[in-house]
Amino acid sequence: MDNVVITGMGGSAIGGEIVKSLLLADTSIPVMVWRDYRLPPMVGRRTVLFASSYSGNTEETIAAYLSGRERGVQIFVLTSGGRLAEMAAGDGVPLIKIPSGMPPRAAIGFMSIPILVVLNKLGLCHNYEDDIMETEILLKERMNFWRRRASALGNFLFKQIPIIYSMSRVLDWVGYRWQCQLNENAKVIAHHGCLPEQSHNEVMGFGAPDFINKRIFIIGLFDKKSAHHRTLIRFQEMVKLLRGYIAGFRIYETEGKSLLARMFSLSVFGDLVSVMLAKQRGVDPLTIPRIDELKGSLSRRKM
């Protein structure tokens, strides 16, 4: 097989990002996460395609599935039900059934680990069983500590605009996860970027308006094992230049041995921060009324 493509939107795409980061560090097979309707031309008979939609009713993912089917691609579907489950059953496409009844963004483990298992069975990546075990143990052991730390940061972020900077490519999705969780759970605006690229453009953006800059709080995500040693120095120099413009900054470091555990250590911490901030703001972290409304109004428009 030439490549792996995982197609999905929002909370259903993040599992693909985890797989992409792991395989980026581990194998030579390219992995792409595709968040749009029509699949790109590189997807063909030598692609392994995962169509991932928690509800099974996301129109972009259904369209991507259909375009993969037309091209005779080898497809696996991850869903809890909906149209995608029906189509997979009708087409004889392998279906990975995810338990229903949770927000898609909470199903992150269900949307990532099965992909690794399938890819391992196809001989496209190694067996991640030990890393999965380590991650599970680490999350259990550290949860209370992270909860306390998240509560402090959540309180602190009240009335601030969080900007999250990842200090290695494999943590890019973790920064994005923080952003999405802050958006959806805490209902606040947030932004994420990745170093070193950020210091070649975005760093200039802290110019105006001043009243917004003064509310920006930078959160640096650092993983010693994957970051180039110059990137932390780059971050430190960058925040020095921003002193006086922004509200402040803080760096959080990964924990654990395997890349999977290290990525999850910061992503779960970000989840907790978003829930703590939601609590602080008095909003319900589970509901996403604007997304639901948008999906509803789009479903009434002709496809």
97 is catalytic: no
Is residue 105 involved in binding ligand F6R (CB under 6 A)? yes
Within 13 Å and on the Cβ side, how many CA atoms surround 209?
Answer: 2
Is residue 11 involved in binding ligand F6R (CB under 6 A)? yes
Query: Do the beta carbons of residue 12 and residue 33 sit within 8 Å?
Result: no
Is residue 103 involved in binding ligand F6R (CB under 6 A)? yes
Q: Name every residue whose Cβ is closer than 8 Å to that of residue 20 and which is 6 or more positions away in sequence.
A: 6, 31, 32, 33, 173
Given 21, 47, 53, 198, the residue binding ligand F6R (CB under 6 A): 53
C-alpha dist (Å) from residue 97 to 55, 85, 88, 222, 278: 11, 8, 11, 34, 30
Residue 250's DSSP bridge partners are 219
Long-range Cβ contact pairs of 65-70 (< 8 A, separation 24 or more)? 65/7, 67/37, 67/38, 67/39, 67/43, 68/7, 68/39, 68/43, 69/93
237 is catalytic: no
Is residue 61 involved in binding ligand F6R (CB under 6 A)? yes
Is residue 9 involved in binding ligand F6R (CB under 6 A)? yes
Question: SS3 helix, strand, coil % of the chain, rounded to 5?
Answer: 50, 15, 30
Helix (H, G, I), strand (E, B) or coil at 68: helix
- Contact window for ligand F6R (CB under 6 A) among 9-17, 89-97, 143-151, 165-173: 9-17
Which residue has its beta carbon closest to ligand F6R?
A: 10
184 is catalytic: yes
Is residue 177 involved in binding ligand F6R (CB under 6 A)? no
Given 54, 146, 252, 269, the residue binding ligand F6R (CB under 6 A): 54
Instruction: Output 61 or 135, the one with its CB closest to ligand F6R.
Output: 61
Instruction: Output 227 or 272, the one with its CB closest to ligand F6R.
Output: 272
Catalytic residue among 20, 184, 191, 255: 184
Is residue 110 involved in binding ligand F6R (CB under 6 A)? no
Is residue 104 involved in binding ligand F6R (CB under 6 A)? yes
Report the catalytic residues: 184, 200, 295
